[in-house]
Chain A
Amino acid sequence: DQQVKQNSPSLSVQEGRISILNCDYTNSMFDYFLWYKKYPAEGPTFLISISSIKDKNEDGRFTVFLNKSAKHLSLHIVPSQPGDSAVYFCAASAPPNQGGKLIFGQGTELSVKP
């Protein structure tokens, strides 16, 4: 049972344009969401997070939007840069009765072309 889904395995964007990475979840009890960036053979790097009491959080070029009614969140990167090319994972923080662990999506590989 995949509680967090990233339906696009890959995304290709031109440098300078906007990258939009999408994520859907099924458990309405999730109350905190995070995005991580990962290069091959490295650990994930925390990018940005959002609490369920908000619908938007912005940090520089990165903005995360949360639509609770649709159980959907997205990460916008603008403008996209070649150095943004990596695999992006969204994650949901499980409720305390599930140990507060993170549940990850399958990841979306972003390629930003010069």
Chain B
Amino acid sequence: GAVVSQHPSRVICKSGTSVKIECRSLDFQATTMFWYRQFPKQSLMLMATSNEGSKATYEQGVEKDKFLINHASLTLSTLTVTSAHPEDSSFYICSARVTETQYFGPGTRLLVL
């Protein structure tokens, strides 16, 4: 149980375009999901907390207008990187919480050219 999927697993896009990443809880409902970003050789950096039916809570320094989060159902949260630039290239990982444990998706590798 507690399986989280992400789609796509990797995406390459041109600078200035928008990219949507989906995070799904496959066998459970998640009122709270989280979005992280990981730079090479570094720890996971929490970007935002996604709450079903309400606005996401962004961490300090994360631009909410650039990283749009929508949590429209109990099994799906989406992260849209708007007007992507090369510096947005990174590994994006989502998680869903079951009681006090977070279960992570496999991650999405974004490359902006």
Contact = CB atoms under 8 A, between A and B. Distances in A.
Contact of A99 (B44, B57, B91): B57
A74 B69 CA distance: 35
B54 interface: no
B46 A101 contact: yes
A44 B44 contact: yes
B57 to A, nearest CB: 6
Secondary structure at chain B's binding surface: helix, strand, loop or mixed? strand
Nearest to A43: B104
Interface in B73-113: 91, 93, 95, 97, 100-107, 109
Interface residues of B, number: 24
Interface of A: 32, 34, 36, 41-46, 49, 89, 93, 99-102, 104-107
B73 to A, nearest CB: 21
B25 interface: no
B109 A102 contact: no
Contacts of B101: 34, 46, 49
